[in-house]
Amino acid sequence: NINDDTLILLFILLDGTKNGETFAPAKDQFQEELVIRPLHSGDIYASFQFRTLWDTDFLQEGQKKVSHYRLFPKSLGQVLSKFSVQELHISFTQGFWRTMQWGQPFIPSPPGAELWVWFHDTVSDVDGNWKELTNVLSGIFCASLNFIDMTNTVQPSASFKPLGLGNATDHRFLRYATLPREIVCTENLTPWKKLLPCGSKAGLAVLMKSEKLFHSSFHSQAVHIRPICQDEQCTSKAWELRQTLNVVFDHYTSGQGKKEWSLFKMFSRTLTEACPLASSSKVYVDITDNPELFELSPATPLLSQAVVLGDRRTYSVYDLTRAETFGQLRSFNLLLRWKGDNMLRPLLHAERYVAGFGLQTGEIHTVIYNNHPYRAFPVLLMDSVPWYLQLYIHTLTVTSKSRDNKPSYIHYQPAKDRHRPHLLEMLIQLPPHSMTEVTVQFERALLKWTEYTPDPNHGFYVGSSVVSALVPSMVAMSTNFTQDQPLFSSFVPVKEESSYFVRVYTEPLLVNLPTPDFSMPYNVICLTCTVVAVGYGSFYNLLTRTFQVDEPSPPLAKRLANFIRRIRGVPLLA
Amino acid sequence: MAAPLTLLLIVAVTIRAVLFRSSLAELISERVEVVSPLNAWKRVVEGLALLDLGVSPYSGDVFHETPLMIYLFHFTVDYAEIVFMVSPYFVDCLSCLLASLDRAKIFRKQKYALESDRYPADCLELLRSPKEMFYIPLKVAMFYLLNPFTILSCVAKSTCGLNNAIIALFIFCTLKGSALLSGILLALATYQSIYPLTLFAPALLFFLQRLYIPVNLRRSSFWCFTLQYAFIYVGSLVVITGLSFFLLGSWDFIPSVYGFIFSVPDLTPNIGLFWYFFAEMFEHFRLFFICVFQINVFFYTIPLSIKLKEHPVFLIFMQIAIISIFKSYPTVGDVALYMAFLPAWSHLYRFLRNIFLVSCVLLACSALFPVLWHLWIYAGSANSNFYYAITLLFNFGQTFLIIRPLTRRRKHPGGFDNEVSCFKSSVWKSSLKS
């Protein structure tokens, strides 16, 4: 009976789907990996790769059409089957990869958005498919890929050969387009993260927080889909989806001066677990260049060597699928610390900053460091402050090692408004191995509206302070003048052997001044003159008007009555 | 009278002492409404520090006090608080005394007028009863000592308090009848800030009235006295200026003090009208408007003197008020000085229509000044227009405050002390009846 057979088949089917064995669903696996490479300039390069491998065929029609998705994102799978896509490569990049400073990236990408697609040779209308594909991808990635049209699409004949399997050599099925103006932001990152099997909840994707990722020199996220061989003989094929994210963190904007990198510093998160759906989850740190120059913690015994980009590199490996990687605290924070600072510390160093809040007053602090271990020496500090920051010299304090240090010579020339700036020169004795702080208060002036620069809220610059000193020298200097002395050592004349002349400039300051409203000159003149005119007018009225007692005129009835009375000759009413 | 006055003095001293010792003192001495570049204590200390460094205080643009001030504070800088505490009492006692002097004189006049039955019926309500007049000096004292403006000015150690003391001394000497002292003190007040120059006319008119010299340009006695008084005044001014020259050995102080007052180079916000006007001024018209604004202060002297020549005390009050409103760097200390004299004309309050409105405006503005300043300078959520608007409103309110008593006096011919015009009006009325 057909009905019975159908029932039995159904039962087996259901049974099979429950266990996942008998029906033999397509096998898929997911791997995630993070490679951290310290760069020569002090920056750090992190490259995430998430690979989903699925043993299926999207380009099937009818019954064998793929409908059950597990690790592979459904949105992409449907796109592939609908448009008969053989290979899809899309990337969004912010910033420019500096090859000369950073070396070669693992996955290169141009700034902006780039999309290149190989269509299957069964497609009849490639252009139509391309147009619809770009619009659909635009929706998936929240990007304005709909700007891709025939005016910026090309069909390269030699470049961009398929990276996966594919015997398509006819470049009619290839389309390539870039949008260099495309800006990458959180809105593009979020749908990209959603395509991952674990989302951004577990595994390496936990590290992808947009505040840190976009605060970097270079950020690139990409999706690469291609068919690949599963083994050497290529007996079975599988679809590979790779999601890659490359980011380069700038040493200066995020490093804060110390040569130290950690996962927490880079991503403001640490790793707590691997993605449960991943068959492998690893972190690689490139330790080829400087094995002794920095130290890694936590330490790992696993090492791996790989030849990549024409170079044999050594990597320390951390396996996140092993529980002991996370340690006692169940959190994995990789730390790279550069060992030792062998740079010779300069003996004299100065810094300057503005303290205070608001636009009325402020304080200029100049900090001078004497790093000599046992010698004290005097320095001459010169400050030239513009006239619109009125200095109050009675608030000048000089402290060394939290004790008052009175300068032995002060020359102060106060400023004359709109003529000359303040000039302050002081001779201060710096105690050995100490920090001296010079503080002076100032008040900010309101200028005439024409005296402001076109961008008044940028602020006004105060020139650098100059610290001049004869610093005691560790090495005896030669006072002889010789003809073949190199130029770099003969700029400053050497007067004595035991010290050398040094001039240190501090940072310039940027100070904001209160601004009037620049759109108001006519209004202000009118309003102020109105108030003055009201005063003047009232005074004028009062001083020129005379007051007379006025008899009110009698009402009409009374006047009429008086008129009649006058005719009659009778006495009038009052 | 003595007991309430003593109590008042004790309360005032306590308030000031408490504020001096608290952390509010520093906060108040930075407020732009209370101190101006002319009379800030910080600048006095800066000037003294420059002198110690061997640099002339007038070589920069930070110090704008007269050399006599340097001399005074050179010795009393450590006792500054006491100096500033004493000066308001000076003003207060003097205004008290002058109010009582005035009161005695008026009382006498009224008594004579009543006895000779010269006041018509409707003038009676304007007469002041002895009881009312008894409390006027106390009211004046209270108005000055407990005025928040005075307290703030004192705690900020602004030299405005000292200037007020000199002006009060001058008025006192004038009312006492001593022309010499009056001339010298007026010269000192003018030396401190130019604007008291306009008080020459009312002082002259007072002396002429006192000595029964009619104000007639053809009379020789008028010119005789005028020249005498002018000589005393100008002579003292020259002597004081000469002394200042010898103090520092240069004439630098003249452009620094008087040039600064007249040309208004510093545009620090204050409660006056000048700063924003000249911050937003087209360069082409700057000189013109400076002249206009400065003439505006001196301009009302002649017309007011002509109209109020029989009421020199009221004229003094009007002049001080005009100076306080229209000067180039006003502060609340200047406002407090003329406000102290308002109770002396309290009998006119019944006729002031807008007194509630004006006082509300002034109170609201005083409260809004620090708020909008904070919003502009510290919070950054407002801009300079907010503060400027309150400045305009404050000056508007002040103008109405001083115009109203003048209006009342003009509209009621039977105004106080004006038995002549009251007599006139009674003659009028009787002629109409007949």
Predicted-assembly ipTM surpassing the 0.85 threshold: yes
Region B211-229: mean pLDDT is: 87
Instruction: Choose the final residue of a domain: A511, A533, A562.
Output: A511
Is A574 within a domain? no
Torsion over CA of B209, B212, B215 and B221, rounded to 10 degrees?
A: -130
Inspect the interface and report whether the beta carbons of A413 and B50 lie closer than 8 Å.
no
pLDDT tens, residue by residue, B73-94 = 888 777 777 777 777 666 666 6
To the nearest whole Å, the CA of A452 is away from the closest chain B CA by 11
Name the residue in chain A with its Cα closest to that of B278: A448
Angle between helices B67-76 and B220-248 (to 10 degrees): 60
- Check whether residue A257 and residue A392 sit in a common domain: no
- Residue listed under structure tokens 């952390």: B23
Highest mean pLDDT among A232-236, A361-365, B99-103, B124-128: A361-365
Residue A417 has its nearest CB partner, among B61, B380, B399, at B61
> Is B212 near chain A, with CB under 8 Å?
no
Q: Rounded CA gap, A528 and B287, in Å?
A: 16
Inspect the interface and report whether the beta carbons of A549 and B276 lie closer than 8 Å.
no
pLDDT tens, residue by residue, B121-158 = 445 555 555 666 667 778 888 888 888 998 999 889 88
Domain that holds residue A470: 348-511
Q: What percent of chain B has pLDDT over 90?
A: 46
pLDDT tens, residue by residue, A430-439 = 999 999 999 9
Inspect the interface and report whether the beta carbons of A449 and B395 lie closer than 8 Å.
no
Query: Which positions 502-531 of A are in contact with B (Cβ < 8 Å)?
Result: 514-517, 520-521, 524-525, 527-528, 531
- Check whether residue A109 and residue A231 sit in a common domain: yes
Q: Which residues from chain B sit within 8 angstroms of residue A520, using beta carbons?
A: 280, 385
- Check whether residue A363 and residue A444 sit in a common domain: yes
- For an interface test with B, give the residue of A396, A528, A540 to mutate (most B CBs within 10 A): A528
- Check whether residue A200 and residue A256 sit in a common domain: yes
- Cα dihedral across residues A341, A345, A351, A356: positive or negative: positive
Q: Which residues from chain A sit within 8 angstroms of residue B120, using beta carbons?
A: none
Q: Which residues from chain B sit within 8 angstroms of residue A388, using beta carbons?
A: none
Region B329-352: mean pLDDT is: 80
Region A245-259: mean pLDDT is: 74
SS (H, E, C) chain B: CHHHHHHHHHHHHHHHHHHHHCCHHHHHHCCCCCCCCCCCHHHHHHHHHHHHHCCCHHHCCCCCCCHHHHHHHHHHHHHHHHHHHHHHHHHHHHHHHHHHHHHHHHHHHHHHHHHCCCCCHHHHHHCCCHHHHHCHHHHHHHHHHCCHHHHHHHHCCCCHHHHHHHHHHHHHHHHHCCHHHHHHHHHHHHHHCCHHHHHHHHHHHHHHHHCCCCCCCCCHHHHHHHHHHHHHHHHHHHHHHHHHHHHHCCCCHHHHHHHHHHHCCCCCCCCCCHHHHHHCCCHHHHHHHHHHHHHHHHHCHHHHHHHCCCCHHHHHHHHHHHHHHHCCCCCHHHHHHHHHCHHHHHHHHHHCCCHHHHHHHHHHHHHHHHHHHHHHHHHCCCCHHHHHHHHHHHHHHHHHHHHHHHHHHHHCCCCCCCHHHHHHHHHHHHHHHC
Residue A201 DSSP symbol: T
Instruction: Choose the final residue of a domain: A317, A338, A359.
Output: A338
At A125 the pLDDT is: 92
- Check whether residue A329 and residue A447 sit in a common domain: no
Is A140 within a domain? yes
- Check whether residue A245 and residue A376 sit in a common domain: no
Between the alpha carbon of residue A419 and those of residues A414, B51, B157, the distances in Å are 11, 21, 30
Whether A13 shows a pLDDT value over 60: the answer reads: no
Mean residue pLDDT of chain A comes to: 85
Residue A527 has its nearest CB partner, among B306, B392, B406, at B392
Highest mean pLDDT among A291-305, A463-477, B399-413: A463-477
**Range with the poorest average pLDDT among A486-490, A529-533, B30-34, B370-374:** A486-490
At B364 the pLDDT is: 96
Query: Which positions 337-376 of A are in contact with B (Cβ < 8 Å)?
Result: 357-361
- For an interface test with A, give the residue of B27, B34, B276 to mutate (most A CBs within 10 A): B276
**Range with the poorest average pLDDT among A148-162, A288-302, A382-396, B154-168:** A288-302
**Range with the poorest average pLDDT among A425-429, A491-495, B152-156:** A491-495
- Counting the structural domains of chain A, the total is 2
| pTM summary value | 0.69
Whether A341 shows a pLDDT value over 80: the answer reads: no
At B67 the pLDDT is: 92
At B414 the pLDDT is: 41
Residue A551 has its nearest CB partner, among B306, B392, B432, at B432
- Check whether residue A194 and residue A55 sit in a common domain: yes
For A182-325, where are the E strands, in sequence order? 218-229, 237-249, 260-262, 280-286, 294-297, 303-308, 311-319
Inspect the interface and report whether the beta carbons of B396 and A534 lie closer than 8 Å.
yes
Residue B419: pLDDT band by 50, 70, 90 thresholds? very low
Residue scoring higher pLDDT (B353 or B342):
B342
At B266 the pLDDT is: 92
Is A315 within a domain? yes
Inspect the interface and report whether the beta carbons of A394 and B49 lie closer than 8 Å.
yes
Residue B422: pLDDT band by 50, 70, 90 thresholds? very low
Residue B280: pLDDT band by 50, 70, 90 thresholds? very high
- Check whether residue A420 and residue A289 sit in a common domain: no
Instruction: Choose the final residue of a domain: A315, A338, A361.
Output: A338
At B409 the pLDDT is: 63
CATH number of the domain within which A500 lies: 2.60.40.740
Whether A345 shows a pLDDT value over 90: the answer reads: no
At B427 the pLDDT is: 40
- Check whether residue A161 and residue A278 sit in a common domain: yes
Residue A50: pLDDT band by 50, 70, 90 thresholds? very high
To the nearest whole Å, the CA of A443 is away from the closest chain B CA by 10
Q: Which residues from chain A sit within 8 angstroms of residue B279, using beta carbons?
A: 446-449, 516, 524
- For an interface test with B, give the residue of A393, A519, A529 to mutate (most B CBs within 10 A): A393
Is A16 within a domain? no
Region A6-11: mean pLDDT is: 54
- Check whether residue A301 and residue A449 sit in a common domain: no
Highest mean pLDDT among A119-123, B307-311, B321-325: B321-325
- Check whether residue A287 and residue A353 sit in a common domain: no
Is A22 within a domain? no
- Check whether residue A331 and residue A416 sit in a common domain: no
Query: Which positions 370-399 of B are in contact with A (Cβ < 8 Å)?
Result: 376-378, 380, 383-385, 388, 392, 395-396, 399
Residue B168: pLDDT band by 50, 70, 90 thresholds? confident
> Is B401 near chain A, with CB under 8 Å?
no
> Is B266 near chain A, with CB under 8 Å?
yes
**Range with the poorest average pLDDT among A4-13, B169-178, B396-405:** A4-13
